[in-house]
Every structure is written in C-alpha cells, then in structure tokens.
Amino acid sequence: MVSSPPPRGRGAQSGALSTRFALPGREADGDWLDALEDVDGGPPPLRTTVTEEAARKIISRNKSPDVPFDRSINAYRGCEHGCIYCYARPTHAYLDLSPGLDFESRLFAKPEAARLLRRELSARGYSPAPIAMGTNTDPYQPIEARYRLTRQILEVCLETRHPVTITTKSDRVLHDLDLLAELAQRRLTAVAISVTSLDARLSRLLEPRAASPFKRLDAIEKLSAAGVPVWVNVSPIVPAITEEWIERILEEAAARGVRGASWIMLRLPHEVAPLFREWLEAHFPDRADKVMHIVQSLRGGADYQSDFFTRMKPQGVWADLIRARFRIAKARLGLGDHRADLDITQFRPPRRDGQMALF
C-alpha cells in the first residue's frame, strides 16, 4: 500500500482518519493512484464538496472559564481555508472524517441558520449576550459567497438589535460592510482580523485558501474607516516560523486604524499535532525539531495541554519573551487590549413568524 501524495493548494499533507474512535485506516493503493494520474503525472486537484446539514439549533453554549464568551454560532463545519494549525480540525473526527484533508475539502453548511437563530432568540426567557462568530471555523470562508449564511445571521442580529462579534482571516467580511457599519453605529458589533505573517508565500503554506496578509490589512483599513471597531489577532504565533512578524504586523495594523491587538500561541490538540508535524517535515525540515522543542517547552514538555487556563497561557522563557515583545510594541503604537464593549440593552426578540414583538 502507498499513501496518496498531498494535493496542491491544501494545508494538510494527508487524509488519515482519527484513531481516537478506533476507526479503520484509509489509504490509496497503487492501482487507484495510477488511475488518477493526469497528463503531468500527478493527481488531480482535490475538489471541495458541501453537504447541507439539517441542524436542530444554531447557538452553541459553553461554560469554559478561559474564553470571553458563553455562546457562539458556526454556520459551517470544516473550513476550506485549510490552516494547518486550526484547533477545530479534530471536530471532523466526530463525523468519521479526517481532521486532515477532509476537514478542508468535505464541508457542511447549515442553510436554516438564520431561521434557527430567529427561533432561539424568540424563546421565552432568552437573555442576550454577545454571540461570537468565527470561534471554530471561519464565517467568511469561500463557500460563504454561495450560501450567504453569515450575512443572513447578521441581518437577524441587526433586526433584533443583538450584539455579535466576528473573527476572520478573510477580506470577504467587506461584502457585509453595510450591515456591520449599521450594527457598529448601535454598538452591536466588533471584528477581529487574524494575521499570522506578512509573507505571502508563508501564508500560502500555513493558510492556503485564506486571504493574503495585505488583503486582510486592507479589510482592517476599510472596516475602521466605516466606523466598525476592529482588532488584529496575531495568531497563532508559530515558534521559529512566524514570530519574526509580530512587531511589523502590529505596525501595519496600527497604521490602518485598529483599536487594539491580541495574540494566541500555537495550539496542537488531538490530531492537530501529528498533522502539524507532517507539515513541518514537508515545508521546514531544517527546523522541524527546533519548532517542536519550543512548542513542548511552552506546554510542560508535551505537544499540548488541555487544562483550562493552561491551554491559553503558555509558560516558560520563550512565552515570557513573546509577552514582553507584544506589550512593548502595543505601548509604542498606542494599541489597547482586544475588548469589545457591546450594548445588550437594545435587544428586542422576534416572533417566530418573522414579525417583531411589540412588547
């Protein structure tokens, strides 16, 4: 048996299934590969497929003490951006799919997202608090151009005056600038743009189908000019790969009007760790061991620690150095913390038939 070579334009190097749930392995044999060869001698591109999911609810709740929100919406499962470091990859294992190539090519959409949101917001006793979007998969990944689920959700939020935050690494967020600007006028939204480096080639390796770094910076500038509160997330920071860009990212973002900045260290839960190791060996074999040694020094000698608070707060000399660099750069540039002060008092629940309640 031989493994299929990694397809072009994807982040993961393989499509192996997870072993956490004792699922059978999956490999491509030589005859199958021979049948797939094209005129250039390689396999054809891996095509993205989308399955429509009949969800029962759309708001997800969490009680995690180390995240700043208690509810979120993810209208899509999987993410075509293909970021190799994505901590959401293991969620595809629950679907008996690969956290590798399946996560970025076999996607799921929830076309009833807006209707479900309207129903949940109209529930008796619902208490408003900011809804976070982009906490698992990107709400502005490429299939949003077809489904427009994020836009429909924002329309419901505007109608009901419900606060909502967005995290993305796509300039496609500008397609909804009209809604975001109106929400911002009412202190109902804030946007965070994630930027990992300013090197377009490196970004293509890390995040093959996400917007280029300067397209993201352009989105920051246009959001800010429209009055939308916008922050920059320098995340994740990948040791010995992206750390050199920290100060320059903050400088470029500050010049474009961001209000503040945050950072997150690389996290490698469950199947993400072996996928990331494969990626390192494919693209940075000269420093793969160094990168993983630093990662483990931040996580108590392991690839990852999942305990609350620990998972978000890497320890050690290297982590302290990053904190100091970030703090000094923010102070020099006049940037604040990533904090959105949104108004929950304007909320007005909808009726399930789509009409607004009078009282």
pLDDT for the residue numbered 45: 72
What span, in angstroms and rounded, lies between the C-alpha atoms of 254 and 256? 5
Evaluate if residue 359 carries a pLDDT over 50.
no
Coil, strand or helix: which one is 223? helix
pLDDT for the residue numbered 27: 47
Alpha-carbon distances of 328 from 33, 127, 260, 322, 324, rounded to whole Å: 53, 39, 13, 10, 6
- Alpha-carbon torsion (131, 93, 172, 244), positive or negative: positive
Mean pLDDT on 180-189: 98
- Residue range 196-217, pLDDT digits in tens: 999 999 999 999 999 999 999 9
CB distance 78 to 106 below 8 Å: yes
Q: Which CATH architecture has domain 45-333?
A: Alpha-Beta Horseshoe (3.80)
> In sequence order, which ranges of 238-287 are alpha helices (DSSP H)?
246-255, 272-283
- Residue range 319-350, pLDDT digits in tens: 999 999 999 999 999 999 877 789 999 999 99
- Token duo for residue 167: 């995290």
Of the candidates 16, 12, 15, 33, the residue with the CA atom closest to the CA atom of residue 24: 16
pLDDT for the residue numbered 44: 62
Residue count of the chain: 359
E-strand ranges in the chain read 49-52, 59-61, 71-73, 76-77, 106-109, 131-133, 164-168, 189-194, 230-237, 260-265, 336-337
Evaluate if residue 139 carries a pLDDT over 80.
yes
Of the candidates 113, 181, 170, the residue with the CA atom closest to the CA atom of residue 142: 170
What span, in angstroms and rounded, lies between the C-alpha atoms of 236 and 223? 22
Of the candidates 213, 211, 174, the residue with the CA atom closest to the CA atom of residue 195: 213
Task: Kindly report each contact of residues 123-130 with a partner whose C-beta sits within 8 Å and lies 24 or more positions away, as own/partner.
Answer: 126/349, 128/162, 128/163, 128/344, 128/347, 129/69, 129/70, 129/71, 129/163, 129/344, 130/69, 130/71, 130/163, 130/164, 130/165, 130/340, 130/342, 130/344
- Residue range 276-311, pLDDT digits in tens: 999 999 999 999 999 999 999 999 999 988 887 787
pLDDT for the residue numbered 162: 98
Evaluate if residue 7 carries a pLDDT over 90.
no
- Alpha-carbon torsion (76, 267, 315, 203), positive or negative: negative
- Token duo for residue 227: 């009055």
Residues 6+ apart with CB under 8 A from 256: 217, 218, 220, 221, 224
Of 46-50, 120-124, 226-230, 252-256, the poorest mean pLDDT is in 46-50
What span, in angstroms and rounded, lies between the C-alpha atoms of 118 and 153? 9
CB distance 167 to 132 below 8 Å: yes
- Token duo for residue 226: 């429209």
pLDDT for the residue numbered 10: 87
Task: Count the neighbouring beta carbons within 10 Å of the beta carbon of residue 149.
Answer: 22
pLDDT for the residue numbered 196: 97
Amino acid symbol at 324: A
Of the candidates 128, 138, 117, the residue with the CA atom closest to the CA atom of residue 56: 117
pLDDT for the residue numbered 19: 60
Mean pLDDT of the chain: 89
